[in-house]
Amino acid sequence: MSLRIGDTAPDFTVATQKGEISFHEWAGDSWVFFFSHPADFTPVCTTEMGRTAQLADKFAARNVKPLGLSTDTVEEHVKWIEDVNDTQNTNLEFPIVADKDLKIAQTYDMIHPDESNTQAVRSVFIIDPNKKIRLTMTYPMSVGRNFDEILRVIDALQTSDANKVATPADWVPGKKVIIPPSISDEDAKSLFPQGWETLRPYLRLTDVKA
């Protein structure tokens, strides 16, 4: 059975090129961007690992820890990271899970047989500090991820949690947000003293409080 939004992310203990980690303990009070790759020494994966490393400061600013996964060994990860750093002009510091036996990939439903029986597809799990899965995305092996979107959805989730709002299509920080229909106008007065615009009774737009 595949994991769903709201499920607790399964814990695991595993080797990485940064040493052994226990997932929940390692995550601590941070959000986690957990993402899988088909294999080391492959072209799309190399660019994605490099891009994640390049965005280290942006992830840190959002209290997010990246965690990669590939169905290869620690030794292969170490050698591959040299290529990532050299070709992508970066310094990869985050851990990459060594999942040679596919145990974690299977637990997280990252193995799709029509793509490969041994290599993980490009899965994304955004996991909050309570270890709850808040978002999932799955890309085929041939398509690299959009990291602007990954940062955007993290911003949207964190904004929603902090302000009791929802975010409209194509929302980015600085744009108006939605007051959920579950919040009455009366309750909204105290939650959103900055006021709001009512387009329909179910569609009320407001600004995020500074």
User: What domains appear along the chain, each with residue ranges and CATH number?
Assistant: 13-145 (3.40.30.10), 164-206 (3.30.1020.10)
Q: What tens digit of pLDDT does each residue of 106-119 get?
A: 899 886 655 555 45
Q: What span, in angstroms and rounded, lies between the C-alpha atoms of 92 and 54?
A: 8
**pLDDT, tens digit (0-9, with 9 covering 90-100), for 175-201:** 999 999 999 999 999 999 999 999 999
Alpha helix ranges (H) inside 22-70? 23-27, 43-54, 56-61
- Note the pLDDT tens digit of each residue in 20-49: 999 999 999 999 999 988 888 999 999 999
Torsion of CA 55, 61, 63, 66, to 10 degrees: 10
Q: Which of 32, 45, 104, 141 is catalytic?
A: 45
Token pair of 87 as six digits: 């070709």
Number of Cβ atoms within 10 Å of the Cβ of 117: 9
HSE of 41, CA atoms in CB hemisphere, 13 A: 8
By three-state DSSP, how is residue 209 classified? coil
pTM for this structure? 0.93
**Is 2 among the catalytic positions?**
no
